[in-house]
Amino acid sequence: MSGLPPGPRTPRLLQSRRWSREPLPFLERCRARYGPTFTLRLRHLGTWVLLSDPEDVKRVFSADTDDLGVGVPNLALRPVLGAHSVMLSEEPEHMARRKMMLPRFHGDRMREDAEVMTELARREVRAWPVGEPFRLWPRMQALTQEVVMRAVFGDDQGRLDRLRVLLTNLTDAVNDEGRLRKLALFGPGWLERSRGWRQAMDPVEKEVLAEVRRRRAEGENGRKDAVSILIEARNEDGSPLSEKELRDELLTLLTDGPTSSSLAWVFERLLRHPEKLERLQQELLAGEGDAYLDAVIKETLRLRPPVSVVVRRLLRPATLGGYDLPAETLVAPCVYLVHNSAEIYEDPGSFVPERFLERRAAVPTWIPFGGGARRCLAASYAEQEMKRVVRTVLEEVELEPVDTGSERISRAAIAFSPAQHGLVVARPRTPVYA
């Protein structure tokens, strides 16, 4: 069929409000009414064709890089990441930047960081309050921020101390609920004009560029952090990256990502399923390997994916969902709907890590990090970090939920967080912690 698939006929403003305030129920209602392929029309973000049939998702993710471009919703991140970010650049620049950055988050460098992740997690856990409620998500934000700062800047403690405060302020600004709603309704131009946003962003940019200039003046001396890798990198014409390009790539790495919210969800889900938590603790403490830990993480990422949709722009006509779509159509493989499909997963709304002991988590039915050429370049790094942190927390403390009911899903800047930010009580397991 020609033309776009059916979808809500309400005005763009109303659809945008529903998308900004209750995105996941909105997606579920649309699928129930229109089927696995439907159209949303969103103010400032364009017209999307949502795809939740695995075969359509596979076609998008396996498409040639010449057939797909960056989607408009990605460009809404431009005030944060900058036009030269690897997340926003078109081909062939995107692939060139990806190759520059990939070694820092894979292979030997990733394995070397594993012990650092464990040590930082242990240090963070031993600073938690004992026997009184606290919110886990901000603690996970502080921890994952520390990990990524060291990956980007190395172990320069003075630089890290200054940057830590600035990045915390920026993270708070990015995740401010009022600012997120206004961004959805008024578009990225509003954010660029926001005084509060600039007050948070400008000091971070200044600190990042100061480090870039210092490193260029002093030389790299064999350092292998992200700053050094990017300073030494060269474009195809042999030229170094400009300060603007370095700023954009480094801010992409430093700006709060979804790993912290995913970690908060791991513990939220385990604490609401004590039998799963008990099995995981017993296997970890008995040294029985990471199979169940890996399954817990994969099941959490299935139920609570970091992003609900991945938007791409067709550079050539394509047939998806039974519709002949013209070039420039925004197509959106819907991670949330794929992960919550009863045709793919038995009892999809339940937390059942065991399902990933029996089946392989793979594209196109498990896509928390996207897929294809633009799959998150730090996906393996993030999974390793989650495993190290979860193991360390469960070795150090016993966690108890403050409320027995499940926490609602709340929108954050990039991911979705527990509405109460993972409200827990910690009891020490080790004498050192006590």
What is the third-level CATH fold of 12-428? Cytochrome p450 (1.10.630)
Q: Where are the domains of the chain?
A: 12-428
Q: What are phi and psi of 365, to 5 degrees?
A: -100, -10
Say what the pTM is: 0.92
In this predicted model, which residue has the larger pLDDT, 176 or 29?
29
3-class SS of residue 82: coil
pLDDT at position 184 is 64
Cα distance between residue 354 and residue 17, in whole Å? 37
| Whether 254 contacts 150, CB under 8 Å | no
Cα distance between residue 34 and residue 30, in whole Å? 6
Amino acid, res. 369: F
pLDDT at position 181 is 67
**Rg of the Cα trace of the chain?**
22
* pLDDT tens-place string over residues 334-377: 999 999 999 999 999 999 999 999 899 999 999 999 999 889 88
pLDDT at position 70 is 82
In this predicted model, which residue has the larger pLDDT, 407 or 78?
407
pLDDT at position 415 is 78
The H or E element spanning position 215 is: helix 195-218
pLDDT at position 189 is 67
Is 60 exceeded by the pLDDT of residue 75? Answer: no
Is 60 exceeded by the pLDDT of residue 434? Answer: no
* pLDDT tens-place string over residues 255-269: 756 899 999 999 999
pLDDT at position 59 is 96
Token look-up 């309704």 returns: 185
Q: In what order do the strands lie in the sheet with 312-314?
A: 37-42, 46-51, 330-333, 312-314, 68-70
Band of the pLDDT at 319, cuts 50, 70, 90? very high
Average pLDDT across the chain, whole number:
89
pLDDT at position 390 is 97
Over residues 191-212, the mean pLDDT reads: 83
CA-based torsion, 41, 44, 46, 51: positive or negative: negative
Over residues 95-114, the mean pLDDT reads: 87
For residue 170, the Cα-to-chain-centroid distance in whole angstroms is 16
- Residue 369 pairs in a beta bridge with none
Over residues 176-200, the mean pLDDT reads: 71
pLDDT at position 81 is 78
pLDDT at position 367 is 97
pLDDT at position 65 is 85
- DSSP string across 153-177: H-S-HHHHHHHHHHHHHHHHHHT-H
pLDDT at position 385 is 96
Q: What is the DSSP letter of 239?
A: P
Cα distance between residue 125 and residue 388, in whole Å? 13
Is 90 exceeded by the pLDDT of residue 431? Answer: no
pLDDT at position 180 is 66
**Total Cβ atoms within 10 A of residue 109:** 17
pLDDT at position 147 is 92
* pLDDT tens-place string over residues 228-237: 889 888 888 8
Cα distance between residue 47 and residue 9, in whole Å? 12
HSE (side-chain half, CA atoms, 13 Å) at 23: 22
pLDDT at position 373 is 87
| Whether 295 contacts 353, CB under 8 Å | yes
* pLDDT tens-place string over residues 276-300: 999 999 999 888 889 999 999 999 9
Token look-up 């994916």 returns: 305
Which range among 214-218, 310-314, 412-416 shows the weakest confidence by mean pLDDT?
412-416
Is 60 exceeded by the pLDDT of residue 433? Answer: no
Is 80 exceeded by the pLDDT of residue 222? Answer: no
For residue 100, the Cα-to-chain-centroid distance in whole angstroms is 20
Is 70 exceeded by the pLDDT of residue 413? Answer: no
**Total Cβ atoms within 10 A of residue 305:** 26
